[in-house]
Amino acid sequence: MSNPTNSPERTQFALERNAFGKLILTTASGVRFEAVVPVRAFPIQSPEVGISLVNTDSEEVAWVDRLVDLPEPAQSLIRQELEVREFIPVIAQIVSVTSFSTPCTWTVETDRGRTDFVLRGDEDIRRIGKDNALLIADTHGIQYLVRDQFALNTASKKILDRFL
């Protein structure tokens, strides 16, 4: 690649953290970019595919086709950075709801533990793609992900059916 500032490198780069915890990207041609940030192209449907590394001016400086193909330690550094930036708890089980009319409080088990949130209206539950995924927004704007509504336990599916 001739000019990495005009055309992003495609997985030919090295990543490291500086003393401040920021990611430093060095391209195959030796150009260094301080404080790069990974951004997923498809965060819900294909979180491991298509990750852009952008500089402080939000310009893409590198592209990762598939995260699993990236060598270590770059793969782990990108995963760690994405975990810090992204907060989308994944619902594993719907424990209870206070009412089948909205607004109501939901108690759910997520990949980050048990929590309660208020669902303002049925329209805050959106279908995502063709994979039976749902995105549920609470009154504070936090998005909760249900990866596959049909993979939930029976009690969770019954509760969810009342709102869909």
Question: Token pair for residue 137?
Answer: 């927004």
Give the pLDDT confidence score for residue 85 in this predicted structure: 79
Which residues 6+ apart lie within 8 Å of 75 measured at CB?
A: 67, 68
Give the pLDDT confidence score for residue 86 in this predicted structure: 79
State the residue for tokens 């206070």. 98
Tell me the per-residue pLDDT of 25-73, one tens digit each, with 9 for 90 and over: 999 999 999 999 999 998 878 889 999 999 999 999 999 999 999 999 9
Give the pLDDT confidence score for residue 84 in this predicted structure: 78
Q: How many beta carbons lie within 10 A of that of residue 84, not counting itself?
A: 8
Say if CB 15 and CB 73 are below 8 A apart.
Answer: yes
pTM assigned to the model:
0.64
* Structural domain spans, the chain: 9-85, 91-163
Give the pLDDT confidence score for residue 1 in this predicted structure: 33
Three-state DSSP state, 15: strand
